[in-house]
DNA sequence: AATCTTCGTCGAAGCGGTTCGACGAAGCGG
DNA sequence: CCGCTTCGTCGAACCGCTTCGACGAAGATT
């Protein structure tokens, strides 16, 4: 393994010159630069990341802390990760994914405090998130995906749930639906302060009310069984429902199964819209689901770019941005059977 | 940020003594150790990972190179990752996940060659995998999940596909099925030399032949549409089929949809077994799928443990191990309608 | 022409640890 | 009682790179 000294000797320059060629910190004449580059190529030189990190006090490693529960990562999260990785790589940074579950805050603290990470992107932030506190105390630059309850001081990128729900509801209302049920995450999730669940709930209420319609929300466990139960509950509360809006990638399959089980056809009897859903998952269902597609990879890229800005200038200030999901119409929505489309209010 | 010097000064010992307390490389008296530990606690000392890595030539970081395609990570892969992360953490190592796609071999080479990773676990290994070559050239200790074509020189952990297929077939045959179709990954995937697809194909042929039955295999694209097409092809080739064995988590939903579309009921008309499938996914379907559950987290743990053994003693030699999937019977398999169970051959 | 910048390069001092050789103090057998 | 290990500790030399101050050679300024 060649070192900088080897390169310097071969190129007949000093080590510092080699370093300047590498980092561009000081001007170097073209002739010298060429000599050095030739020597590096000949020796197949690769800088030692540890030494570089120690001397420069920057590891050039960014952490992406992601949740890893038993359910696995959806295509949405994956798009997010690849978007972030690409952005980091472009900027010459490595992105390491750390599967810190809820429990191991200590592990997180260690990572942050050992100066191994220049900055961190936090996924799936809770409204009150201990990890944020830990990282702030450790003084690690931070960008959130999602928002804490108090959004004042931190940088974040998040899905614009309000806008997304509004669009989804408008789509259904535009088709002529009046009785629309929103299937959210579980009651426990809501109680735990999961931002997306709470925000969409509120947005749904306000969107429906805005159309002069009555909002009905059902909480569903994240499982197929939960979806089936939720649909039953929905019919109990709103017997004439003609459309279901759901933000629960797991439950939605139960919902569809139960619909079929009741002899109801999608979309003729009941329209279904799935929110924050990747095209891949939407296509799994028969018929393919009309869905609000999340801006996954853009979200990842923007988060990393904001983080990098923080590293360069601490004066950078906060970056706060919301991105809406895009409506993609597939086979699971249509005008309700019993009425004409009403052209509604948009 | 306190350094070792600060700790040494406060404890009135030399830096090397502090280091020995930390690493346990040399004996230290209890009295001194206590003084040092007290000083560390008081200063809230955390060793600097970079400095430690530079001096010791070990980063204490293990890499897990995982594929990140658009489809996302299944629960199977996730279990794998969490198993690996837990094992690494127990041993005092960090595990970083690197989402290296197919393209960026350079990025991989850089990571490996910059001495940032002590060792690497490679997921989703192809029969002929360039990444293996790159890493071997870089001299990075390596453990594979999956196997290359030539298994002689490398350490690996893999699913025992032969055994898994044999069990799945035995289950169906035991129920009385005679016409069983195997839905594999796509023809392109097979052609690309994807080990699991090839091994299960061979195992299926041999298992069926062993029962005196004719093996019928269909290649399916990894999509719901692919599954539907595959089922149509299956009925074309084997009109009286009563059971489908599938190893394609995506296509299986299309298969189920198409079955329902044809007015066939699962499991009464056709039994379905899904291979290398997590309980979470199996439960998504209605009825829940009888599946061969992969030993995900065990696989991850074992891979990391083998890797750590490589780091300690290069004399460690290879570690090669196969783990079978466990049959979990749910609602998608039953005796075929037209015949009695036959008690078959086990 | 003398002085002042700017440019390009060098040498050396760290960055925060690990590790090796050395060395005094005990503990030991003979 | 003496020489010989063993134990516990220290000092110093790195690990491979960045970065700062210095300095000679040009080019610009007056």
Pairwise pLDDT comparison (B111 vs A214), residue with the higher score: A214
Contact of B226 with A280, CB cutoff 8 Å: no
pLDDT at B325 over 80: yes
Contact B71 A78 (CB under 8 A): yes
Of B123, B148, B145, nearest in space to B133 by CA: B148
Task: Say whether residue A97 is in contact with chain B using an 8 A CB cutoff.
Answer: yes
Same-domain pairing of A171 and A214: yes
Q: Is the dihedral of CA A23, A28, A34, A39 positive or negative?
A: negative
Task: Say whether residue A22 is in contact with chain B using an 8 A CB cutoff.
Answer: no
Contact B253 A89 (CB under 8 A): no
pLDDT at A329 over 90: yes
Pairing of strands B61-65, B94-98: parallel
CA gap A82, A69 in Å, rounded: 19
Residue A326 CA: distances (Å) to CA of A145, A159, B41, B159: 18, 11, 52, 39
Of A194, A343, A216, nearest in space to A276 by CA: A194
Residues in contact with B314: Cβ distance below 8 Å, sequence separation at least 6, in sequence order: none
Same-domain pairing of A193 and A284: yes
Identify, with chain letter, the residue nearest to nucleotide D13 (CA–C1').
B55
Q: Which of B272, B293, B314 is the last residue of a domain?
A: B293
Nucleotide of closest approach to A20 (CA, C1'): D18
State the pLDDT at residue B19: 95
Q: Testing the interface with B: which of A286, A330, A331, A332 to mutate, by most B Cβ within 10 A? A: A286
Question: How does pLDDT run across A311-320, given as a tens digit for each residue?
Answer: 876 666 789 9
Taking CB atoms and an 8 Å cutoff, what residues of chain A touch B60? none
Whether the beta carbon of A49 falls within 7 A of nucleic chain D: the reply is no
Task: Say whether residue A227 is in contact with chain B using an 8 A CB cutoff.
Answer: no
State the pLDDT at residue B70: 63
Which one of A49, A72, A111 has the shortest CB-CB distance to B75?
A: A72
Q: How far is the CA of B236 from the C1' of D30 (A)?
A: 97
CA gap B266, B328 in Å, rounded: 16
CATH number, position A147: 3.40.50.2300
Task: Say whether residue B106 is in contact with chain A using an 8 A CB cutoff.
Answer: no
Whether the beta carbon of A50 falls within 7 A of nucleic chain C: the reply is no
pLDDT-above-90 percentage for chain A: 54
Task: Evaluate whether residue A339 is within a structural domain.
Answer: no
Q: What is the DSSP letter of B158?
A: E
Same-domain pairing of B266 and B314: no
Taking CB atoms and an 8 Å cutoff, what residues of chain A touch B228? 286
Same-domain pairing of B106 and B171: no
Contact of B143 with B306, CB cutoff 8 Å: yes
Which one of A72, A280, A285 has the shortest CB-CB distance to B70?
A: A280
Of B205, B276, B210, B215, nearest in space to B243 by CA: B215
Same-domain pairing of B288 and B300: no
pLDDT at A183 over 60: yes
Closest Cα in chain A, distance from residue B214 (Å): 31
pLDDT at A276 over 50: yes
- Report chain A's mean pLDDT, rounded to a whole number: 87
pLDDT at B339 over 50: no
Instruction: Quickly state the pLDDT bin for B11 (edges 50, 70, 90).
Output: very high
From chain B residues 233-262, the ones with a CB under 8 A of any chain A CB are 250, 253-254, 257, 260-261
Residues in contact with B184: Cβ distance below 8 Å, sequence separation at least 6, in sequence order: B190, B197, B200, B201, B217, B218, B219, B220, B247, B248
Task: Give the DSSP H or E segment for A56.
Answer: helix A49-56
Question: How does pLDDT run across B138-197, given as a tens digit for each residue?
Answer: 888 999 988 877 776 889 999 999 999 999 999 999 999 999 999 999 999 899 888 889
Task: Evaluate whether residue A132 is within a structural domain.
Answer: yes
Same-domain pairing of A166 and A102: no
Q: How far is the CA of B29 from the C1' of C30 (A)?
A: 30
Task: Evaluate whether residue B344 is within a structural domain.
Answer: no
State the pLDDT at residue A176: 94
Q: How far is the CA of B245 from the C1' of C17 (A)?
A: 57
Taking CB atoms and an 8 Å cutoff, what residues of chain B touch A252? none
Residue B112: how many CA atoms within 13 Å on its side-chain side?
25
Closest Cα in chain B, distance from residue A110 (Å): 8
Of B293, B299, B311, nearest in space to B147 by CA: B299
Same-domain pairing of B146 and B266: no
A13-22, A114-123, A329-338, B116-125: which is most confident: A13-22
State the pLDDT at residue A65: 87
Which one of B75, B94, B286 has the shortest CB-CB distance to A70?
A: B75
Task: Evaluate whether residue B339 is within a structural domain.
Answer: no
Task: Evaluate whether residue A166 is within a structural domain.
Answer: yes
State the pLDDT at residue A147: 83
Contact A70 B49 (CB under 8 A): no
Same-domain pairing of A302 and A281: no
Same-domain pairing of B123 and B183: no
pLDDT-above-70 percentage for chain B: 93
Question: How does pLDDT run across A67-125, given as a tens digit for each residue?
Answer: 777 666 777 788 888 889 889 988 888 888 887 665 567 777 777 788 889 999 988 88
Residue B23 CA: distances (Å) to CA of B19, B33, B241: 6, 12, 64
Domains contained in chain B, number:
3
State the pLDDT at residue B323: 94
Q: Is B24 left (phi over 0), alpha (psi -120 to 50) or beta?
A: left
Task: Evaluate whether residue B285 is within a structural domain.
Answer: yes
Contact A225 B283 (CB under 8 A): yes
Q: How far is the CA of A22 from the C1' of D13 (A)?
A: 27
pLDDT at A152 over 80: no
Q: What is the DSSP letter of A264?
A: -
State the pLDDT at residue B104: 67
Task: Evaluate whether residue B341 is within a structural domain.
Answer: no
CATH number, position B41: 1.10.260.40
Q: Which domain holds residue A290?
A: 161-294
Of A48, A104, A121, A85, nearest in space to B88 by CA: A104
Whether the beta carbon of A19 falls within 7 A of nucleic chain D: the reply is yes
pLDDT at A139 over 70: yes
Task: Say whether residue A78 is in contact with chain B using an 8 A CB cutoff.
Answer: yes
Nucleotides of D under 7 A from a protein CB: 7-12, 14-21
pLDDT at A161 over 60: yes
Output phi, psi for A110, to 5 deg: -65, -50
Ranges assigned E (strand) in B41-155: 61-65, 94-98, 119-122, 142-145
pLDDT at A173 over 90: yes
Instruction: Quickly state the pLDDT bin for A255 (edges 50, 70, 90).
Output: very high
State the pLDDT at residue A184: 94
State the pLDDT at residue B343: 42
What is the mean predicted confidence (pLDDT) over A55-64? 91
Task: Say whether residue B76 is in contact with chain A using an 8 A CB cutoff.
Answer: yes
Pairwise pLDDT comparison (B3 vs B102), residue with the higher score: B3
Same-domain pairing of B210 and B280: yes
Pairwise pLDDT comparison (A260 vs B328), residue with the higher score: B328
State the pLDDT at residue B316: 63
State the pLDDT at residue B341: 43
**How large is the angle between the packed helices B161-175 and B195-210, nearest 10 degrees?**
40
Output phi, psi for A8, to 5 deg: -60, -45
Return the minimum-mean-pLDDT range out of A87-101, A142-156, B98-112.
Answer: B98-112
What is the number of other CB atoms lying within 10 angstroms of the CB of residue B314? 8
Whether the beta carbon of A152 falls within 7 A of nucleic chain C: the reply is no
Q: How far is the CA of A162 from the C1' of D16 (A)?
A: 52
Whether the beta carbon of B54 falls within 7 A of nucleic chain C: the reply is yes
Task: Evaluate whether residue B81 is within a structural domain.
Answer: yes
Q: Which residue of A has its CA nearest to B261?
A: A286
Same-domain pairing of B178 and B251: yes
Q: Testing the interface with B: which of A22, A95, A97, A252 to mutate, by most B Cβ within 10 A? A: A97
Whether the beta carbon of B94 falls within 7 A of nucleic chain C: the reply is no
pLDDT at B277 over 90: no
Same-domain pairing of A266 and A301: no
Contact A76 B75 (CB under 8 A): no
Contact A82 B68 (CB under 8 A): yes
Question: How does pLDDT run across A23-51, given as a tens digit for each residue?
Answer: 999 999 999 999 999 999 999 999 999 99
- Report chain B's mean pLDDT, rounded to a whole number: 87
State the pLDDT at residue A346: 38
């Amino acid at each position: 393994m060649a070192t900088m000294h080897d390169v310097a000797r071969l190129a007949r320059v000093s080590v510092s010159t080699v370093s300047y060629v590498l980092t561009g910190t000081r001007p170097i004449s073209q002739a010298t630069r060429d000599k050095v580059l030739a020597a590096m190529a000949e020796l197949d030189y690769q800088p030692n990341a540890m030494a570089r990190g120690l001397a420069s006090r920057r590891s050039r490693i960014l952490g992406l802390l992601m949740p890893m529960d038993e359910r696995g990562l959806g295509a949405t999260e994956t798009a997010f990760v690849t978007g972030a990785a690409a952005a980091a790589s472009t900027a010459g940074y490595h992105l390491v994914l750390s599967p810190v579950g809820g429990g191991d805050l200590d592990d997180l603290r260690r990572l942050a405090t050992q100066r191994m990470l220049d900055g961190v992107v936090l996924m799936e932030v809770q409204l009150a998130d201990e990890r944020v506190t830990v990282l702030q105390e450790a003084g690690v630059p931070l960008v959130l995906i999602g928002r804490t309850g108090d959004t004042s001081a931190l940088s974040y990128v998040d899905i614009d749930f309000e806008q997304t729900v509004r669009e989804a509801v408008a789509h259904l209302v535009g088709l002529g639906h009046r009785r629309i049920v929103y299937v959210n995450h579980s009651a426990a999730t809501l109680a735990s302060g999961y931002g997306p669940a709470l925000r969409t709930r509120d947005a749904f209420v306000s969107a429906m009310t805005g159309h002069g319609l009555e909002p009905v929300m059902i909480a569903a466990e994240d499982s197929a069984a939960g979806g089936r139960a939720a649909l039953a509950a929905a019919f109990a509360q709103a017997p004439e429902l003609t459309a279901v809006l759901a933000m629960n990638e797991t439950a939605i399959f139960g919902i569809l199964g139960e619909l079929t089980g009741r002899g109801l056809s999608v979309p003729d009897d009941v329209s279904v819209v799935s929110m924050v859903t990747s095209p891949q998952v939407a296509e799994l269902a028969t018929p393919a689901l009309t869905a609000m597609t999340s801006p996954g990879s853009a979200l990842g890229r923007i988060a990393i770019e904001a983080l990098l800005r923080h590293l360069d200038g601490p004066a950078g200030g906060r970056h706060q941005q919301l991105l809406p999901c895009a409506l993609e119409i597939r086979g699971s929505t249509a005008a309700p059977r019993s009425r004409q489309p009403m052209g509604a209010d948009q």
